């Protein structure tokens, strides 16, 4: 585990949460990743999820929020999206580990007789497998791995992860490994005091597992006084420079700066003896400048089925915001429940004041008719619309129903017996599904190339012919209907390189009516907005201008 051949040791930082969940461990880890990168340290990140699901791919968005897909096709936790957006480096499936994966591996080995008759136990067999994965990204090209452990200190299910982290630290050496606890400092109104006791208790719990934090990031609603930080340092036995205050920020992309001003990167670099240069913000400086200089605004509607659950479309939201940063406007989101989009009048009133809409990805037939009606309204009113994955499928169904007159056109996902399956299971997926009794990992997943058609909106936005995007779907445009759709004016503006799969569709004569079978939101970066989202926001700005002139 220690000896990477050249003598180079990839160091490891574990980020652990105390007191409550949802403290922003993911943003803290990502921000630290960005800071270290900006100082010339080669960083990779990783998320360990203690749940027993093998991956979040089969989990309900209510439970889990968005499923983030990596280039190599892993279905992962939404924190991977934060990591990639902050770090700007694509991560692999090694960056996402769950208890389900660990146990599947250990039980598989046990069944195959690989433990040679030993009694298989949490320690050492499960912890060994966890350690192997914690170190799987180590190598000559990596200086540090930042590993975030999901859940909260004291959770029964994360105990094996804590023990494995402790052992990794012992094996690679204390000097090469550190622990950062992210903790809550609540403010009590009546006594007008910040309270450090929950943090002290979280650190006590952590010590019980044999782990002493090197640094504590204190999350609070308001900035903390120096005296509070002094107290945490004294009571928790942490160096004063290791106590970092991180109050709520207006914008998550400002958190790296906040942590830098508190000295987190310098503390970590010193503690781990990393070679680093002075901070060079680079592209992040432009981003922060853009965020503080937004002029004007547009509102983009996300017409979906999880409107009370923004995390279900997290990367879509971040992509819209990023496109706004690119155009120097505040791009706000309006959540519209597709189920409420029952007729034109209702749709017009739900979208009043918006200048663009997105039909995001999704599964199952609930709310699909509302999405289709909304797209018809958008197409007929030249209202900017971007369809993502399911959104492309709805665009095709709508066009087939309304323009080709195929009233029962549908996807076999929603209506297996439709006479006009304009969207159907992909041939290659049929084999995958048939050969697999499980639901997990039976989709077309990860990065695939596509070729864009010259003269289309998609082509002009990307500014190139050959592109790649990430995918997560089972169904596709049925090629039997492609010619009819194209003849009737729906342009298939991009396909797989062999021409078989429709990857993009658009009505080129509209201001912006574009869709893709892929998930472009996975590749948008806050400082490098994705061309499709940028195109939507540009169209929205134009639409707003025209609307206000009228
Ligand atoms: N349910 C559709 C499919 O599986 C769309 C998937 C998605 O939007 N991610 O093809």
From CA 501, how far away is CA 479, in angstroms rounded?
Answer: 8
The verdict on the CB of residue 75 being under 6 Å from ligand 1 is no
Sequence-ordered list of residues with C-beta below 8 angstroms from that of 39, at least 6 positions apart, any chain: 265, 269, 276, 277, 278, 279, 280
pTM of the model: 0.94
The verdict on the CB of residue 448 being under 6 Å from ligand 1 is no
The pLDDT value given to residue 335 = 96
- Separation of CA 360 and ligand 1 centre (Å): 10
Q: pLDDT band for position 110 (50/70/90)?
A: very high
Q: pLDDT band for position 309 (50/70/90)?
A: confident
What single DSSP character describes residue 300? E
- Separation of CA 389 and ligand 1 centre (Å): 6
Q: Catalogue the active-site residues.
A: 389, 519, 521
Q: What is the pLDDT of residues 224-253, one digit of tens each?
A: 999 999 999 999 999 999 999 999 999 999
The verdict on the CB of residue 305 being under 6 Å from ligand 1 is no
Give the ligand 1 atom nearest the CA of 364: 1
The verdict on the CB of residue 474 being under 6 Å from ligand 1 is yes
Would you call 542 exposed, middle or buried from its count of C-beta atoms within 10 A (0-12, 13-18, 19+)?
middle
- With a pLDDT cut of 70, the percent of the chain lying above it is 96
Asked whether residue 439 carries a pLDDT value surpassing 80, the answer given is: no
Q: pLDDT band for position 442 (50/70/90)?
A: confident
- Separation of CA 73 and ligand 1 centre (Å): 15
Return the residue whose CA atom lies nearest to atom 5 of ligand 1.
390
- Separation of CA 387 and ligand 1 centre (Å): 12
| Mean per-residue pLDDT over the chain, rounded | 94
Q: How many helices (H) and strands (E) does the chain have?
A: 19, 23
Helix (H, G, I), strand (E, B) or coil at 399: helix
Give the ligand 1 atom nearest the CA of 389: 8
Count of residues making up the chain:
550
């Amino acid at each position: 585990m220690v000896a990477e051949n050249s003598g180079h040791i990839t160091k490891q930082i574990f980020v652990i949460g105390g007191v409550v969940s949802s403290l922003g461990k993911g943003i803290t880890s990502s921000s630290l990743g960005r800071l270290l990168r900006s100082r010339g340290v080669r960083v990779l990140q990783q998320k360990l999820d203690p749940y027993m699901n093998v991956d979040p791919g089969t989990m309900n968005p209510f439970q889990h929020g968005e499923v983030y897909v990596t280039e190599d096709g892993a279905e992962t936790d939404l924190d991977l999206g934060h990591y990639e957006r902050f770090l700007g480096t694509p991560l692999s499936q090694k960056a996402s580990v769950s208890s389900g994966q660990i146990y599947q591996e250990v039980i598989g080995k046990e069944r195959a007789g690989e433990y040679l008759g030993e009694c298989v136990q949490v320690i050492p067999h499960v912890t060994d497998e966890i350690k192997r994965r914690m170190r799987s990204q180590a190598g000559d090209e990596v200086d540090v791995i930042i590993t975030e452990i999901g859940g909260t200190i004291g959770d029964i299910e994360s105990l094996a992860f804590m023990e494995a982290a402790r052992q990794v630290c012992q094996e690679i050496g204390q000097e090469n490994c550190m622990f950062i606890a992210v903790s809550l400092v609540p403010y009590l109104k009546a006594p007008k005091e910040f309270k450090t006791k929950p943090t002290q208790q979280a650190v006590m719990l952590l010590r019980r597992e044999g782990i002493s934090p090197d640094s504590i990031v204190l999350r609070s609603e308001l900035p903390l006084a120096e005296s509070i930080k002094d107290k945490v340092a004294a009571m928790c036995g942490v160096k004063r420079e290791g106590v970092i205050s991180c109050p709520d920020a207006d914008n998550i992309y400002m958190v790296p700066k906040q942590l830098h001003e508190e000295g987190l990167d310098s503390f970590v670099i010193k503690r781990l003896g990393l070679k680093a240069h002075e901070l060079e913000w680079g592209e992040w400086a432009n981003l922060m400048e853009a965020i503080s200089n937004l002029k004007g605004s547009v509102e983009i509607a996300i017409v979906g089925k999880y409107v009370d659950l923004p995390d279900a479309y997290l990367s879509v939201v971040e992509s819209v915001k990023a496109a706004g940063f690119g155009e120097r406007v505040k791009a706000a989101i309006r959540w519209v429940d597709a189920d409420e989009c029952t007729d034109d009048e209702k749709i017009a009133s739900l979208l009043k004041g918006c200048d663009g809409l997105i039909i995001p990805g999704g599964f199952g037939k609930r709310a699909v008719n509302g999405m289709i009606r909304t797209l018809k309204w958008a197409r007929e009113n030249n209202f900017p619309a971007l369809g993502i994955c399911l959104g492309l499928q709805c665009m095709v169904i709508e066009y087939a129903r309304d323009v080709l007159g195929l009233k029962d056109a549908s996807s076999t996902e929603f209506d297996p017996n439709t006479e006009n399956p304009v969207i159907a299971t992909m041939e290659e997926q049929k084999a995958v599904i048939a050969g697999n009794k499980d639901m997990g990992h039976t989709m077309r997943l990860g990065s695939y190339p596509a070729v864009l058609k010259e003269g289309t909106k998609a082509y002009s936005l990307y500014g190139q012919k050959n592109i790649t995007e990430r995918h997560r779907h089972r169904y596709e445009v049925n090629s039997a209907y492609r010619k009819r759709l194209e003849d009737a004016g729906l342009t298939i503006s991009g396909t797989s390189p062999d021409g078989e799969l429709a990857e993009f569709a658009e009505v080129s004569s509209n201001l912006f009516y574009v869709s893709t079978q892929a998930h472009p939101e996975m590749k948008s970066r806050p400082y490098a907005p994705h061309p499709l989202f940028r195109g939507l926001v540009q169209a929205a700005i134009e639409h707003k201008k025209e609307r206000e002139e009228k």
